[in-house]
Structure 1
Amino acid sequence: MGLFSMTPKRAYNWYISLVAASCMVLYGYDASVYNAVLGSDNWLAYFNQPNDQLIGAVNTAYTVGAVVSGFFFGGPVADYFGRRFGMAAGAIFVIIATFMQTFAPRGSIGSFIAGRVFIGIGQGLALTAGSIYIGELAPVEIRGKIMSFWQMFYSVGSFIAYWISYSCAKRSQSLGEWDWKMVVIFQLMMPILIVAQVFFIPESPRWLVKKGKVDEARATLRRVRDTDQEVEDETLMIREALEFEKEAISSGYAALWKDRSVRKRLLLAFVINAGQQITGQGTLNTYSTLIYKRVFGSASTIALINALNATCGILFTANATWTVDRFGRKFLLIAGAIGMGFCMIIVAAVETSTPDLADGSKSHSVAVSIVFLLFLFIFFYKPSWGATIWIWTSEIFSMNVRAQAVGMASQTQNVANAIVQQFFPLFLTNCGFYAFYMFAGINFLLAAFVYWFIPETKQVSLEDMDSKFGGVNHVDKGGDLMGVEDSHHADMDHTMGDLSGKQPRVERKEVAV
């Protein structure tokens, strides 16, 4: 059953998933808003013309908050209080931080930086909980399609930020310092919408079972699954997997290193999540204004290009909705990395081999060709290393470590981003577009890494994922502990006992997974 064979319950599954995916709008808006304000002369004047190191430090401040939150708080908060609470808490931090940045005292860039730290903390909480929530509620056959909207909503955030920025840039003289404050304060819109909706959607059934609330988990699944058979099958599989993890492994951060299979997954997730940010996309998203200043002379032109880039980003990410479950995660990652690598080589060659005009910009034809190549880069990036990295990361971990592992793995994006972004302004100043040859080499190395080390996870249920990475099947082992004959399927007429009690003998029928 796909996107266009829609039942009422499947439609509701899409709705609650898109509420969770709205957390990514926070990320996309914020990543773009700082890039946007760098094009405002009023912002630069308001904070006394910060130098390259200070511009990098403002971006790094966000990263520090996000990394600390994602590594140490995102997982525990989502595990202890629930996925919905994690999303709401993150949104509230973003609301507070938005006011801190908008109304920072003149010349006090430290106050602006403090707001950036709070933004990072909020997003570390929200992104961890939101991505897990989607993975745990989505039916296996459309999990990739639904999760692709996670990355698309990043582009939606960028789209909103850049078009607001473009509108303000066209009126910068009349707006004065509000040409950048307007861009910042509009960041309130999405966290308010998240808080208004998140407690009206059901909690994750996997979190509910983990807390011993099996009946509530069944009630949640009945709202998003079409048949009672599906509900009973999934409830049983969740319980079996958790039973094995409780008896044989453990929860908490220590479990990430005890199981060789989990440890392998975590290390692979660290590499490809860091790789996402060093493809060159992180730099383009944060510093495209500085990059385009080397080829264009008009600030409003640059703002328009950024807005068009964000618009195309939404369209390009939509490609993931029909490719990720058809061609698989591995194919998209390899094809995307190779395509991005060639784009980086060509754009560097075009810029470095053409003459500058008197004002330091490029001729119209050269500037347009550079923009086209960078848009083509986004065409390859969005459905692959944009959307697919989040899909793969959110689905590979077992329940006992999922929140901690996803939080830590996703924040390696910010660790890598911080390292590159802190020094890229200086790199661009000293080396110009020769820096893009480095990104080209990185992309080709990432394609080779995926080919040799990343297994395909298309159409694999969350509870069966362990066997894909050399581990034991948690459902089968949990079924043995519970005395279940066919660990993957329940009889519709059978009423399961209490989670902690003995399991009565269950009659089974074979159904293809």
Structure 2
Amino acid sequence: MKNPFARSSRNGDDGPSEIYGYRIYMVALSATWASAMYGYDSAFIGGTLELPAFKTSFGLNENDSTSLSSNVVSMFQAGAFFGAICGFFFAEYFGRKPVILGSGVIFAIGAAIQLVGKISALYVGRIFTGLGIGSHSFSDFGSITASTRTFRAQAQHSGEFRPRWLASKNQIVKAQKNLAWVRHLPVDHSYVVNELAEIQAAVCQELELSGEQRTLVQILHECAAPGVRNRILIAVMLMLLQNLTGINAINYYSPTIFRSIGFTGTSVGLLATGVYGIVKMATTAVFMIWIVDRFGRRGPLLVGAVGAGVAMFYLAIYSQLSDSFDRVPPSNSGSQAAVAMIYIYAIFYGFSWNGIPWIFASEVLPTRVRTIGMMCAVCMQWLAQFIIVYSLPYMVASIKYGTFYFFGSCTVVALVFAYLFVPETKGVSMEDMGVLFGPDVSILAVKAQENYQEFRRSTAMAATEAQQEKQGGLHVENA
């Protein structure tokens, strides 16, 4: 029976058959499960706040809705922001696994507190669940690349799953044991030994560059170095723009959004919200698993921004003309198109800005500053979410249809930023990211790409010349 996990050989280098198994998928799934917890929270909280039973149980009235929605939803993001910072320090000194386990416990405690049935407990529980997701998302960040590039990682030995942290702490025996488990090979197998040797060589090189004992000040100094700071800034900006496109406005307040375009009734609104979530999830899953390494990162970011922007501007124009924020609009072709535009937005966003900013940041950050670089990007993710979800209820109440215009305009900004500053990283190894983002390389994406292509051509020519010289030497020797 053919191994369902195997990939066809590339360049004759496909590794031992044992490495093509389920374990590498289990590692990715367990490390990224926080995404499911976060997705569940973002999907249910908006609908829950709209339920009449919820308002009755907590003794709320319509006058409480704006401030309640703003406070309850944003408490999660506030907790996640500080959780990401805590996750950085714990992961730096104790490793990723304890952080992942501990964050799950904190999330469970937060969920239990929310069941008390009091507003104060709801706030506290939301903060705890945010702390759990925030600290987990930091460790989860490093696995995003792995989970979306699993097939290529196995076939080309790119090493996203390597136990680098253990090696950096000189725990070589544990590192070799863990690597052997993931690869499903004996610890003394030549494949494991060679791969671990590569890890140790990379760690030694990093230590030589940065010094054996690095203080926080030294790490920050490295982050500010030319060729590094631009990568961190691009990653941070992508996280900011990812949220400014309006995704969390729809994620958390989709019942309100659907009501503004004519969906009346709690059940109908929740059903429309559920369909929206399914569309976004399915689009993201299909793209991230099967398509992202075929079409790259830059192209989908640009196309996704155009499609999402068109959808957002249509919603703005429709809600302005129909006055849908102040009255229930008639059911006609315009309202039906508005509903379709929300799903179109989910599709375009799902295959672009939903996952690519996370992949991009995890690919381009240098290993020696990846931990703190990830923290910066993840903190911006949660800070941007906090600003959006806290402000949105007030935006809906005050500027109404202008909310859609705002997010549409931000999507245009995201499009321009991606075009100017985000080069294509598809097929670029982690070792070659310095060529794409080096200290002497232009920050403009097109010129950076040209620099990398020239490097590839010169490298290929040098390899060809070396091969020809080798063959010429063999001919002379034979003669």
Q: TM-score, normalised by structure 1?
A: 0.74
Aligned residues: 413
Structure 1 segment 148-227 matched on structure 2, within 5 A: 205-225=163-183
Task: State whether structure 2 residue 205 is matched by structure 1 residue 244.
Answer: yes
The answer on whether the counterparts of 2:283 and 2:347 sit within 8 Å (CA) in structure 1 is yes
**Number of the residue aligned with 2:456:** none
The answer on whether the counterparts of 2:319 and 2:325 sit within 8 Å (CA) in structure 1 is no
**Number of the residue aligned with 1:54:** 68
Percent identity, aligned pairs only? 26
Note closer, same or farther for the CA distance 1:74–1:204 as it changes in structure 2 (3 Å cut): farther
Q: Deviations over 1:80-118 (max 9, x none)?
A: 22212111111111100001111133xxx2221111111
Q: Distance in 2 between matches of 1:405 and 1:66?
A: 17
**Number of the residue aligned with 2:44:** 33
**Number of the residue aligned with 2:271:** 304
Q: Which runs of 5+ in 1 are unaligned?
A: 146-201, 473-513
**Number of the residue aligned with 1:85:** 98
Q: Distance in 2 between matches of 1:35 and 1:357?
A: 18
**Number of the residue aligned with 1:457:** 425
The answer on whether the counterparts of 1:94 and 1:123 sit within 8 Å (CA) in structure 2 is yes
Larger radius of gyration: 2
Report the AA paired with residue 73 of structure 2. N
The CA deviation at 1:3 is 6.3
The CA deviation at 1:240 is 2.7
- 384, 408, 412: which one aligns with 1:440: 408
The CA deviation at 1:460 is 2.9
**Number of the residue aligned with 1:169:** none
The answer on whether the counterparts of 2:28 and 2:146 sit within 8 Å (CA) in structure 1 is no
- The structure with higher relative contact order (CA 8 Å, sep 6+) is 1
- 213, 226, 231: which one aligns with 1:260: 226
The answer on whether the counterparts of 2:325 and 2:401 sit within 8 Å (CA) in structure 1 is no
**Number of the residue aligned with 2:470:** none
Task: State whether structure 2 residue 239 is matched by structure 1 residue 273.
Answer: yes
Task: State whether structure 2 residue 120 is matched by structure 1 residue 101.
Answer: no
The answer on whether the counterparts of 1:23 and 1:126 sit within 8 Å (CA) in structure 2 is yes
Note closer, same or farther for the CA distance 1:278–1:35 as it changes in structure 2 (3 Å cut): same
The CA deviation at 1:415 is 1.0
Task: State whether structure 2 residue 339 is matched by structure 1 residue 371.
Answer: yes
Q: Which runs of 5+ in 2 are unaligned?
A: 9-16, 441-479
Q: Distance in 2 between matches of 1:378 and 1:461?
A: 31
The CA deviation at 1:239 is 2.2
- 96, 121, 124: which one aligns with 2:131: 121
**Number of the residue aligned with 1:481:** none
The answer on whether the counterparts of 1:266 and 1:405 sit within 8 Å (CA) in structure 2 is yes
**Number of the residue aligned with 1:502:** none
Q: Distance in 2 between matches of 1:287 and 1:23?
A: 21
Task: State whether structure 2 residue 424 is matched by structure 1 residue 466.
Answer: no
Report the AA paired with residue 12 of structure 1. R
The answer on whether the counterparts of 1:144 and 1:324 sit within 8 Å (CA) in structure 2 is no
- 322, 335, 351: which one aligns with 1:383: 351
**Number of the residue aligned with 1:12:** 23
Note closer, same or farther for the CA distance 1:458–1:91 as it changes in structure 2 (3 Å cut): same
Q: Deviations over 1:414-455 (max 9, x none)?
A: 211222222211211222223212211211211111121122
Report the AA paired with residue 235 of structure 1. L
Note closer, same or farther for the CA distance 1:297–1:388 as it changes in structure 2 (3 Å cut): same
Report the AA paired with residue 47 of structure 2. A
Q: Secondary structure at the match of 1:276?
A: helix
- 43, 47, 54: which one aligns with 2:54: 43
**Number of the residue aligned with 1:159:** none
**Number of the residue aligned with 2:302:** 334
Report the AA paired with residue 302 of structure 1. G
Q: TM-score, normalised by structure 2?
A: 0.79
Q: Deviations over 1:306-331 (max 9, x none)?
A: 11111112221112322211121111
